[in-house]
Structure 1
Amino acid sequence: MEKYQFVFFSGAIGFTAPHIGEVRKEITRRVEREKAESVRHDIELQMIENKDGVPKIQDSCYLYNDSFEMIHGSISETKNYLKESWRYRINKNHPPKKNIS
């Protein structure tokens, strides 16, 4: 999993950063300026693969539900969820080859 990194993304404001604090700060700035309270919890965690220097989103999920509670309890649990769901899809689409003797 070394070739993967995680970034935080807010689609409502089109802002991505490696630390959630940066995204929260930008959201707060925009909420105060544009009075758009609805974007406050619009944060998605993305699992990115850098392949030949080109970042590609492998998996993503929102951090908060409609009640503004963290869906998986914590950022680390959300990262674990993304890793496991990504592994599941990879294994499902590319099952190990059977050794026929």
Structure 2
Amino acid sequence: EVIDQGSEIMNCTYCGQEIEGKPVAPGYEGELVFWDGDTEKILEPERTIGFCSDRCAWRYGMERHKAWGMTGKEARCHLVNEHGLTEPGEAHKN
């Protein structure tokens, strides 16, 4: 899904740094999230999220998913398989 950020200046959801260009891993997040079969449902209120780097996207995702009760291993697998993120350092391994 492509998210139109318009001409708004966006700060990284994780570190707060101003994002130059398009955010990494843009999306939406809500206070209440649940699964309906294989579909993730987000209830209002909903907010736009985006990150200045893959590292910030990964760190934020790990913190949030562990806070929701996933183990570190479950959170890592979920971020890779469901959100398409790459664990920092993994992208450069051959």
The structure whose residues are more often helix, as a share, is 1
Larger Rg over CA atoms: 1
| TM-score above 0.5, yes or no | no
TM-score, normalization: structure 2?
A: 0.30
Structure 1 length-normalised TM: 0.28
